[in-house]
Amino acid sequence: MTLCVIIVRDISLTPEQIERLKSNQDKGRAKAANHPNGPKQVWQRIRDGIIESSANEIPLDCNSYTLKIIGSVLYWAEGYNKTRNMVIFGNSNPAMIRLMMRFFREICKIPESKFRGCVHLHPHLDGRKAMRFWSKESGIPLKQFHRLQTAISKASKNKRDSLPLGTFRIIISDTRLQSKIKGWIKGIERWANSSVG
């Protein structure tokens, strides 16, 4: 049997051939990355398993005491505390808005007529769509919404399309409620300080 060796290092490839080789390499890498037994997919399954297992540790029938703690801590982290007579909570996560509305309704016993909503949105996005969305998520009627806010904040100027429905604020004018939530937060803070060391 005759062995034939071809030296190819001196053969020039056309731009089209080089592009085809690169394209084939990219396809090969993408195929390997998405293979069910590839490292990326294996680790995704591990992460998904941990997330699901941890999610099951939280009971679906949390009692009112648990809801009071969760709502107070969320307000401590995300609420507006610079006023004495207004309760203002804003976020872009619909699940968090739904949770806080449950906190205000079930724990704080706020009448539906006292809720106000306010949507903050980039000017080029669909304001009507955003307002309808947040009204549905919060359960606050559109007639109780403040005017759409379209100013671009410094914090979000580079996130023009990452929040297509903007952020939503729940607003309640109630001095007693503001004081009550501050008291719950103070109690949680005392507990945190007492458990240190």
pLDDT at 5: 55
Distance, in Å, from the CA atom of 141 to the CA atom of 112, rounded to the nearest integer, reads 9
Give the pLDDT confidence score for residue 166 in this predicted structure: 93
- Give whole-number Cα distances, 147 to 69, 119, 141, 151, 154, in Å: 32, 8, 13, 12, 21
Write the pLDDT tens digit of every residue in 90-143: 999 999 999 999 999 999 999 999 999 999 999 888 889 999 999 999 999 999
Q: What is the pLDDT of residue 83?
A: 80
Nearest CA among 91, 93, 66 for reference residue 79: 91
**Host H or E run for residue 100:** helix 94-102
Question: 63: part of which helix (H) or strand (E)?
Answer: none
The C-alpha atoms of residue 150 and residue 131 are separated, in whole angstroms, by 12
- Return residue ranges of the chain for CATH 3.30.1330: 64-194
> What are 116's two structure tokens?
């106000």
Q: What is the pLDDT of residue 19?
A: 78
The first and second tokens of residue 14, run together, are: 């056309």
* Element containing residue 164 per DSSP (H, E): none
Taking the CB of residue 162, how many other CB atoms lie within 10 A of it? 9
Q: What is the CATH number of domain 64-194?
A: 3.30.1330
Tens-binned pLDDT, residue by residue, of the chain (197 aa): 566 555 556 667 677 876 776 776 766 666 666 667 777 778 888 887 888 887 677 667 778 889 999 999 999 999 887 888 899 999 999 999 999 999 999 999 999 999 999 999 998 888 899 999 999 999 999 999 999 988 765 555 555 567 889 999 999 999 999 999 999 999 999 988 886 65
pLDDT for residue 8? 58
